């Protein structure tokens, strides 16, 4: 074969295969779009909201929020949580089993956590959306959902953008953002709920400053993917997102859907060293490279105390979740959330690859390699 003709033929075949793949994808996307529009007519959404969150902002904007959800293609209804234990959790479970395709959690991070616990254990899980109306709203910050306008938060659903989020599991409890243990984490238990509502995150900062002198080291054993830490620490911390306690630099390179926790172990209880580490956190997340910090990625963690007569409380999403020993598991891409993905950093999302597209790409590469090898044989 003449070399010029061979190269031209190879290019033509390669271009034709690419064109064929593109045509198939266009037709498939068109059919998926048409099917989506048909399904939207009958889809149901359940709004589960905390009527007292955010100075009753949800109660005052309920009609606008339901309208925004319906404009996204859902038949929307609402449920107001009650003071009874697990009110939001039980309603989320009921809605999922009743066939609702979307559950919207409206309130603070605690309400979102409770709704997640209502559906995370189910085999068939609906999509979720969030409308923040709490104090720190870490999850909304991670998903780039508006935090100061509940109607705008509901309108994110209309963009039809989603992320399959990792969820943490500790024993029979699920968490969406953090799990932690050690004396440095105990400040969250001592902030009265009324102070959280009135002063917001300033209440946490004030209590943290008050407690710093009381921090003591804890002898702990932490077994994680690829390693083990055994020694004194004032805190171990597992993060699922980069937004923790109102900061986005504690786990600066966290991904939302990679199946990995960001594990941070603070290996000191010295007041001055902790203050220095906090300064590094505020200075762009430079604490992760400090010798007093262990920072790794892991899909699991087994946490226990070396001194078994001591006690270490476990914090799950800001609430007491039991005592060590405890095991933690990352459930990879477990629940699909509506999110403002246009504003999420590309490095924070891995995304998923459609199996058919992946297979088509593999076959395309094989064909191209085959043509290239044949050309080389001809030229020789």
Dist. CA 286–CA 368, nearest whole Å? 45
Assigned token pair, 230: 């055994």
DSSP letter at 229 equals E
> Are 118 and 89 contacting, i.e. CB atoms less than 8 angstroms apart?
yes
Quickly tell me which residue has 């709004």 as its tokens: 47
* Catalytic residue selected from 70, 319, 329, 374: 319
Name the maximum alpha-carbon separation found in the chain. 83
Dist. CA 329–CA 238, nearest whole Å? 10
Q: Which helix (H) or strand (E) holds 364?
A: helix 355-379
Cα separations in angstroms, 81 against 76, 131, 331: 16, 14, 27
DSSP letter at 121 equals T
Dist. CA 371–CA 208, nearest whole Å? 66
HSE, CB side, 13 Å, CA atoms: give it for residue 300: 9
Which residues touch 12 (CB under 8 Å, ≥6 apart)?
A: none
How many CB atoms lie under 10 A from the CB of residue 212?
17
Assigned token pair, 95: 């809605």
Does the annotation mark 70 as catalytic?
Answer: no
Q: Provide the annotated active-site residues.
A: 319
């Amino acid at each position: 074969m003449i070399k010029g003709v061979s190269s031209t033929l190879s290019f033509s075949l390669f271009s034709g295969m690419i064109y064929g793949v593109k045509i198939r994808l266009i037709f498939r996307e068109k059919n998926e779009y048409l099917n989506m529009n048909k399904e939207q007519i009958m889809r149901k959404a359940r709004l589960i909201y905390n009527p007292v969150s955010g100075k009753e902002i949800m109660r005052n904007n309920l009609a606008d929020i339901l309208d925004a959800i319906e404009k996204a293609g859902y038949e929307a209804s609402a449920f107001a949580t009650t003071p009874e234990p697990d009110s939001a959790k039980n309603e989320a479970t009921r809605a999922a089993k009743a066939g609702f395709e979307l559950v919207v959690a409206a309130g603070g991070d605690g309400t979102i956590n409770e709704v997640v616990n209502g559906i995370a254990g189910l085999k068939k899980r609906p999509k979720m959306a969030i409308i923040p109306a709490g104090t720190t709203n870490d999850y909304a910050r991670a998903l780039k959902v508006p935090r100061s306008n509940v109607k705008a938060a509901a309108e994110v659903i209309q963009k039809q953008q989603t992320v399959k989020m990792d969820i943490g599991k500790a024993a029979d409890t699920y968490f969406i953002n953090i799990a932690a243990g050690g004396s440095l984490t105990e400040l969250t238990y001592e902030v009265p709920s009324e102070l959280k509502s009135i002063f917001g995150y300033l209440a946490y900062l004030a209590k943290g400053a008050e407690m710093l002198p009381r921090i003591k080291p804890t002898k702990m054993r932490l077994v994680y993917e690829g390693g083990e830490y055994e020694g004194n620490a004032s805190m171990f911390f597992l993060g699922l997102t980069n937004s923790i306690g109102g900061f986005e630099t504690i786990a600066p390179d966290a991904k939302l859907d990679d199946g990995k926790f960001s594990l941070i172990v603070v290996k000191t209880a010295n007041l001055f060293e902790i203050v220095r580490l906090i300064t590094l956190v505020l200075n762009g997340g430079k604490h992760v490279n400090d010798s007093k910090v262990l920072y790794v990625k892991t899909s699991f963690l087994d946490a226990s105390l070396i001194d078994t007569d001591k006690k270490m409380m476990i914090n799950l999403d800001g609430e007491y979740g039991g005592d060590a020993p405890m095991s933690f598991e990352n459930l990879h891409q477990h629940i699909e959330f509506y999110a403002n993905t246009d504003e999420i950093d590309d490095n924070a999302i891995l995304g998923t690859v459609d199996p058919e597209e992946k297979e088509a790409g593999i076959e395309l590469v094989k064909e191209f390699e085959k043509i290239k090898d044949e050309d080389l044989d001809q030229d020789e």
